[in-house]
A and B are shown apart, each in its own frame.
Chain A
């Protein structure tokens, strides 16, 4: 565990990608195979199920150190991370400085802890308590932090799956695209062995395995640099969940870009299984479409509609009718069981059209190609994006292969400018991670006559320096002293940018925003110059999105 704790420590504090990569490689070079498997699992989102909720976990910590709940809460809000708070509060084991422990069992491995989590998952709370509190007693602060992180989930320490894949690729001397493919799909870290996982036969036998997604970078306004228009294909950029549908060995799988297997969540897709030819993998968008869709014409619903469908175990009939889910196909990655990612996009598109034409299911569409002559005329088309319920335009080079991960050069996204509204900050809360003990999470309001109506939260968009200034303002101008939320003097005005707006009966203001963030600190504006609730409603009307069917 010490080895892994050290790795996490380096990954968490290092500021350079190369150093992180090196730390991962060093770890892969020396760690036990079982532990390596688990590291791959953890950094690719395959952690064991959470065995205990965080409220109970903190109650055990409080019980051990004998402090009051409010003091624990104060600590938590200051640290901004539950796992770390607990690790800082619990006493350190009594060990000599050379780290050798007297009278304690030898150190356990990472795999020991994770496999114990799995083993005791169904046991009584008392069993879990004993295991966790006894483990705490044997660990130093660093190990406790990592151990708690494994329990509470959310290993956001600045390591992407891509980075882990790159380190692994260097360790086993294989191209990273191959590694990315091999570690994808449906495998169990408790049973898989390191050799097996990385062996060539795996991809061949695991029929569920998706391909790594090809992701685009944003392009700036100067499209002329891309060269001749006829070398490029343009499509709408749809706002759903990027996904892959796989038909292999008479079985059918749906994967999200987050490598989550979502087959069960979309019963609408069940028929695809029968109609798609054997050995087919399609890249596309899982998206909520207004039903019934006539051939070739489809109208996406706002992302909020799709949200009602994900994260739910049982889907009701009502949800199925109010937020039916379809699939918009972008690309064909496997055809007749052959990996065709090396072919040009033009060729793949032809085959994709052929495959889709063979089906007649109303939820399966092909992403229409936008015809255009000049970059300028494409720009004009782009202005209609919101009417199409799209986020902008995708531009793809016709002769490009299907690559792995986010790459420059062949695929670009050209998003529309966000909507904006000027609002005043009314509440602030301390942030997490690198924003610990800083007020960085804000709630904003617009005017409604003399009243202020809160309508959104936003956490991002300011520079560190600006955050420090706002933090200082909050500390000087807040009303309550305890608890996480400070009510602040409504004085600071920000321009809030967002990608979409939908009606919502969950929020006081009656609207829900998509991707809200602070685009500008309007130091030139006073609180009485902000936008009004009517302005928000006007935006809602203009962008004419149907009522999101939530919480009724």
Chain B
């Protein structure tokens, strides 16, 4: 019997009778991170990292939450469970599960470049590694974060010169906080959409020291916005809410911007291939670092990635999950 099974409700550990990131309500859920395709409401008990807890409370409402520190063992029915930084967003964890000397790791979403805010990805030795593969093709190789931040700043400066507001599309949880620091260095006021504001407040209230932002309000004077920066989630792109910023230029921060067609399809002015997922090299590096004898690839290019791993002598299979399909995290939304 495998330590983790792929059930119709999510990744299931029978011995411990718990699920990892279930997409249906269950008794006991261990949550890798607070994005809504991984963290869903309705379960009776949640375990996550300390930093994730306030975000789950914000997004899922009242439930029973328990949290743990990095690498702090939690025993469930004799199964040893521990959380390890995945570097995806604030509080994002890989879940290490050990029983009878066998170790499985479910990666959740991860990236191998340290972004300075989400915690550095921690390679964990295991027998079986369940990895995401969102960008599991060799065309996805990210530029260094610093270089992309430079591009974004140059774009903002260019817009300012052309008297346009820079509307930067970034997920309200994760990407928004990641781009905030370099943007705040420009000395311009940064305005945010309500969804970004809510996450920002939750983080500030739980002790994060984040640069100051202003919420876009119905009565925010137009001249305050002109030539400045607005951070908005993908769902706001193309809605009447944007009218207030006219004239503006839209830039999207997403790994999908690596391919021109995606940027053209979305009718945006600039695309920045800034991702919170590992690129091709990052995925390979992570898989190799685990030393796993068996790898399961989930959401993304799992067919191609697992086939490639098999050719490299790493036994790999693909698993269908329901991750990577929520509005904020989907391919079409960026």
Contact = CB atoms under 8 A, between A and B. Distances in A.
Interface of A: 12-15, 65, 67-68, 70-71, 74-75, 78-81, 84-85, 88-89, 97, 145, 158, 432-438, 464, 468, 481-482
Given A89-B139, A436-B259, 12 more contacts: A13-B264, A14-B269, A15-B267, A15-B268, A67-B138, A71-B304, A79-B261, A84-B259, A97-B150, A433-B264, A434-B261, A438-B265
21 contacts: A13-B268, A15-B268, A68-B311, A74-B137, A75-B137, A75-B138, A75-B139, A78-B301, A80-B259, A84-B260, A88-B139, A88-B141, A88-B258, A89-B138, A432-B261, A433-B261, A434-B264, A435-B265, A436-B262, A437-B261, A437-B262
B282 interface: no
Contacts of A89: 138-139
B268 A65 contact: no
Contacts of B17: none
B332 interface: yes
Interface string B227-252: 00000000000000000000000000
B41 interface: no
Given A97-B147, A468-B332, A74 B304 contact: yes
B303 interface: yes
A323 B57 CA distance: 74
Contact of B137 (A14, A78, A81, A436): A78
B28 interface: no
Among B147, B258, B261, max chain A CB count under 10 A is at: B261
B147 A436 contact: no
Q: Which A-B residue pairs are the 3 nearest by beta carbons?
A: A436-B261, A434-B264, A88-B139
B271 A437 contact: no
B263 to A, nearest CB: 6
Nearest to A71: B308
Nearest to A145: B260
Interface string B116-156: 00000000000000000000011111000011001000000
Interface of B: 137-141, 146-147, 150, 258-265, 267-271, 301, 303-304, 307-308, 311, 331-332
Nearest to B270: A13
Contacts, number: 76
Contact of A12 (B141, B264, B267, B311): B264
Contacts of A67: 138
Nearest to A65: B138
Contacts of B259: 78-80, 84, 88, 436-437
A71 B261 CA distance: 20
Contacts of A85: 139
A481 B303 contact: yes
Contacts of B140: 88
A434 B270 CA distance: 14
Contacts of A158: 264
Contact of A13 (B139, B260, B304, B331): B260
B8 to A, nearest CB: 15
A15 B261 contact: no
Contacts of A434: 261, 264-265
Contacts of A15: 267-269
Nearest to A15: B267
Nearest to B261: A436
Nearest to A87: B139
Contacts of B137: 71, 74-75, 78
A79 B258 CA distance: 9
